[in-house]
Amino acid sequence: MKKLALAFITLAAAASSQAVDLKSVFEQAVSNDPQLAAELAAANANTQSVGLARVGILPQVAFKAEQGTSTLDDGANNLDGVESDRTSYSIQLKQAIFGAEAWYSYSAASATTDSALIELRKAEQSLVIRLSEDYFDVLRANSTLAAAKANEAAVKRQLEQTQQRFKVGLIAITDVHEAQAIYDGATVELIAAESQLDIAYETLAVLTGERYDRINPLKEALPLLGPIPADRAHWEQKALAQNLDVLIAQQSQASAKLNHKSKISAHMPTLDLVASYGVSNDEGNALSNGTDLTSKYVGLELNLPIYLGGSQWAGQKQAYYQRQAAERQLELQQRIASLSVRSQFRQLTADMARIKARKQAMTSAKSAMEATQTGYEVGTRNIVEVLKAQQSVFSAQKDYAFSRYDYVIDMLKFRQAVGELSMADIEEVNGWLQN
């Protein structure tokens, strides 16, 4: 039994240390991200607006039942204290025939519901971006830690070599002190990098509700594909037609416009069809002699509001300003969408060029370090120059890794700006990761 328990513990430890990919983390976030859950709940609540607005245009049926005791007094003491038991029930149907305010309100609510459906998609897009940023922030922290570890190890070796060369009298004590100072700084950077990685994992856990130990890194072969076609104006027009913030603003404008018309129509008459059926019985009442009295009614009801304390005028003004605000908000979102897609278009182009340049920079830094090391061995370079050359190599490697992460995130943000980002993009990026 102890062996079996030990086997299970070993298996669990291996599973917990296994690296996870972006798709697995995303699926976990879909189920556990509090922000996504809140955004979906708020959007679903807004989809009920049209159901609430139907009350003004659909039939309304009400049932009423009453039972009680009444005491009669005719003022002449002839019927003082005569009690009667009353039982009654009735059902009423009311159907709006004409009511402009109710119909405009219903149409405005329909636009609000359409906006809520777009907000559901926006919540999904938001999660794709937030999760991808947090995932690649972990990879950034990993790259920083890897560079810090390599730098600390390389500086430590150089420090040890410097100490040995000082002991045999090949160099001055100042070289040892300089190497020690640089090593101390490398140690501090390593501690900071370890802390930053831990923070990055904790930030990712906010979305997923689970703490990971390792995640899959990017493959070396990364497809560098820019927007096709490479026409910025084309993508700008697409953004104006598909960007979710623009679409939401359009629905908000439509809703505000219809709501304004609804408030303007508030002073107009309404016409309703009213039908009712009722039965009552007053036992002990001399007028009814205890028999059931039945009443039926079918008719038209006209209502014309004349003065409601100024609420109609105030409602119209409020709706007018809300309509103006929605129009300006739409204009703002269109400008933001245009700016965003133009910026992301340029950024993607710059990212691809930066990746190539930083890859070449790694080769150059390595060659410079080798030349500096050779110069140090022949006495033309000092230890500080060697250590700085080594740091340049590790920094170039980190910058190269960062440029690749930037490209992936900017590619997703570009698709978000255009309005084409979806959960399928997680699958695509996941294919770029090592297994």
42/144 Cα distance (integer angstroms): 39
- Residue 10: is its pLDDT beyond 90? no
Least confident of 68-72, 221-225, 384-388: 68-72
> Which of residues 114 and 2 earns the better pLDDT score?
114
Predicted confidence at residue 290, as pLDDT, reads 61
Q: What is the pLDDT of residues 361-408, one digit of tens each?
A: 999 999 999 999 899 888 888 888 888 899 999 999 999 999 999 999
Q: Provide the token pair at 409.
A: 């995130």
Residue of 431 and 71 predicted with greater confidence: 431
Give bridge partners of residue 295 from the DSSP assignment.
278
Rounded CA gap, 207 and 9, in Å?
Answer: 27
pLDDT at 9: 32
Structural domains for the chain? 19-58+99-269+304-430 (1.20.1600.10), 59-98+271-303 (2.20.200)
pLDDT tens across 314-326, in order? 989 999 999 999 9
Burial class (CB in 10 A: 0-12, 13-18, 19+), 86: middle
Q: What pLDDT, on the 0 to 100 scale, is given for residue 380? A: 86
DSSP assignment letter at 183: H
- What amino acid occupies position 241? A
Residue owning tokens 């969408």: 337
* Local confidence band at 311 (pLDDT 50, 70, 90 cut-offs): confident
